[in-house]
């Protein structure tokens, strides 16, 4: 039996951010192990979910959780802007 990942706020953020990375084409799909073509709309949806999470948890997070979420949102927003411009920072093989 494999160990389950830790259940925490940061784990939830990582899960949503990983889904965004898969949709950007930056990471392999964890279920198939294959990198999918970019789907910027779906990646944007994951970013929107994280924004909602930030709005709904404002004032209820630890300082570390708030910093982590803020950093993840910043990185995903920058990645989203690059994707909308057609830039792909990840080399595909």
Triad 54, 65, 71: Cα angle to 5°:
70
pTM of the model: 0.83
* Lowest mean per-residue pLDDT among 9-13, 17-21, 29-33, 47-51: 29-33
The rounded distance, in Å, linking the Cα atoms of 26 and 29 is 10
Work out the burial of residue 3: count CB atoms within 10 Å of its CB; fewer than 13 is exposed, 13-18 middle, 19 or more buried: exposed
Asked if residues 29 and 35 have their Cβ atoms less than 8 Å apart, the reply is yes
The pLDDT of residue 89 is above 80 = no
Identify the top-confidence range among 29-33, 47-51, 89-93: 47-51
């Amino acid at each position: 039996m494999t160990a389950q990942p830790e259940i925490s706020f940061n784990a939830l953020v990582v899960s949503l951010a990983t889904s965004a990375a898969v949709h950007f084409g930056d990471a392999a799909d964890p279920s198939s192990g294959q990198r999918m073509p970019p789907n910027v709309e779906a990646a944007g949806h994951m970013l929107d979910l994280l924004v909602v999470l930030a709005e709904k948890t404002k004032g209820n997070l630890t300082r570390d959780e708030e910093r982590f979420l803020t950093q993840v949102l910043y990185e995903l927003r920058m990645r989203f802007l690059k994707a909308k411009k057609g830039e792909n920072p990840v080399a595909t093989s």
